[in-house]
Amino acid sequence: MNSFTEEVIFRLSYTTIVANENMNARISEFLSAAIFGIVHYFGIAPRGIAGAIMAAFLGWFLAKSINETKGFFWAWMIHFAQDVVIMFFLFMKK
C-alpha cells in the first residue's frame, strides 16, 4: 500500500502534469527525485543524508521508468519489492 501511494503522489502526479503541459520529461524526473529525497531526509525510513540520496536516486529512476514505459506498473512493482525488504529489516530489528 505504501508503494502504491508514494508512486501516485511522488511520481505519477508529476509525470502526468509535465506530460499534459508538453514540458520536458526530465522536469518530472527532477521533481520526483528532489521531493522524494527531501521527504526521506526528514524522517521516513531510510532517513538522513544517506536515505535522502538513496530516495532521490530511486525517485529519479522510477519517474524515468514511468516516462519511458508510459505507465506506472513497473515503478510500483520495483518500489513494492524494495519496501518488502525495508519493512522486513525494520521489523526484524525489534
Q: Does the pLDDT at position 47 exceed 90?
A: no
Mean pLDDT of 71-77: 92
Q: Does the pLDDT at position 4 exceed 70?
A: yes
C-alpha 45 chain-centroid distance: 13
Alpha helices in the chain (DSSP H): 2-7, 13-20, 25-41, 48-69, 73-93
Residue position matching grid coordinates 530511486: 58
Separation of alpha carbons 71 and 49, rounded Å:
30
Separation of alpha carbons 56 and 61, rounded Å:
9
